[in-house]
Structure 1
């Protein structure tokens, strides 16, 4: 039998894993600068958490969850998204009793049974930000700006799309107006089943005929109460002050039931129909829904796999050379190995030949490994108490006394 990865999954080969690592390090450092702390939750949770938190009428719960029963007949689900588990952890550990706002981030794999396509997998990765305890529009602006800044750091151009879906009070009025409109339309069976249960989910339908009939649907922006309208206007003003451009879309509702007020998405023109890179919004009622007190919250989740496609395309062959390759043969390898491990303990990235190849072959390997320098231990050099350091980018070669070698290497650019 020929073994392959399951449909909808993939191996991250070394070059892809390097891009992922760069993305994760950049995300974690940016989150730290903004005052966020990492939280890691289990990869599976009780199924009821997502049924209640995400919403029973969402595509995720109805069609896409990986759910199984364990030997204790408990229904468990591989997490399809990150916000509900984070909120569960906040409630379970009473993190809401600490200093506010509580600012958390996560990075990890999620699982959904979807049709695989470019940038969409059944096991996929997300970078998420969650802020608890701040109900004002400045919190929304900070979260949106953090995501925007991450894309800037990765060299990715994005379009920010925003809407407000109001609060339970103004949404109740809009719900009746929307239901009246939807009942007059010829919609797919899925949408018909959602009209009375959750009419806002109909706006998220991807069926082309439904999208056409929804073009004239009433907009939630026309039914916002004054506090919600003021909140959304303040978010726009805050983004204007930061010179973050955006486009308003009155039909943007996102695919999860817990959102209220601000919703947003980051989009790209580089991936065709798969243009959404992630998004988020405000979810002021979710902590209470999952057993905690009333705690306002806002956050986002970004699709790392799809973003990685853009990072790989922009990276090309521009990865800078870095680190050392230690070149030695025969008896000189014994002395060289002492330096190999000594330099590694100093934090220097050092590679070495383990196949006893010739000097020429080792230089070729150093080039293939994209090393910046070759550290050469030849018998003549060692007899003089020296080693040679060659810059593989410029070709310049320098003889360095062994007693000064560590100091010399640590002063080089690109060795760590």
Structure 2
């Protein structure tokens, strides 16, 4: 079990341990439902990306105003998790989740018929706030149903479902625009949200019993989050995973320009490389859940993932600064950067939630919001510097990878002779 946090910390209140096995749904439906809930937010972003140009022309707005439809959604997801996560600790998981999905469906429909940019931007904000319910509560449900190693394995399995969203969504969005308009894309998103809502209502029961719920109120929520952040290992896992997530976003933000403008990749080649890297990350997550976890201590797995990320990003910096390596070498280095994230994200998420068995909603909210905020800063880092070079992207990925490693060593102190935090 984890180290004992300071006296009075919220992360250790109440009875501990996994719930009775009889309350657990079958694993495959659970993976599909929770994976769909986790993927709905990213899918709402990526499926819409190919339609940005058409939105700008149809509504007669500038590119900057069109981008606000993305910014509003991202802001909604970040803020929504902070609200819905603690709320689910008070009311249970099912009511906030179903309410959020229902609001998402309504907001998606209004986006499809939006008469002007103001309505579209406002509804995208509402859609993000509501869509946050699926992301934050899915992680909390995992912690409700599984403890330690079981939670880590399930989180790794979820990457098989949620990880396919960034692979398929841009392609699907482009194909949809061949037969419909940008409004039709929102109709499809509305129908997807309705399908996820129906499946969740039918197949996912309440996972947080009343005895394990916490009193509500802003003051109680702030105290809970304060106690979580005072717990050194929790904050260490939080920052380690969020910085690893930001390193991935720095690669995503910078690779389009670097591979196409600097190394001459065609849009088709870039799409293929992006898909291969996403598949590599998903495959590593699957390997992490089925082979590594349980066979090796979680701290050793996390250290291995961070080391691989740092080595791959160092190699990329050397390639773009000291050699004239072509596209194949740079693409290989980017593939090796994406893969370790499949180990880092599910492992740090499980370790965070392990330290918060009865405040999993608040812990999940802090985790998700921190990841999205750091992910939002990563493109700015990757865009610093001059044009005509991939160095800003490579340097930002390396810097974030090293920062993640420093947080892990300084706050989690993995060399301590303690039992594996995820051991049952």
Looking at both structures, which has the greater relative contact order when contacts are Cα pairs under 8 Å and sequence separation is at least 6? 2
TM-score by length of 2: 0.22
Higher helix proportion: 2
TM-score by length of 1: 0.22
When Rg is computed on C-alpha atoms for both structures, the one with the higher figure is 1
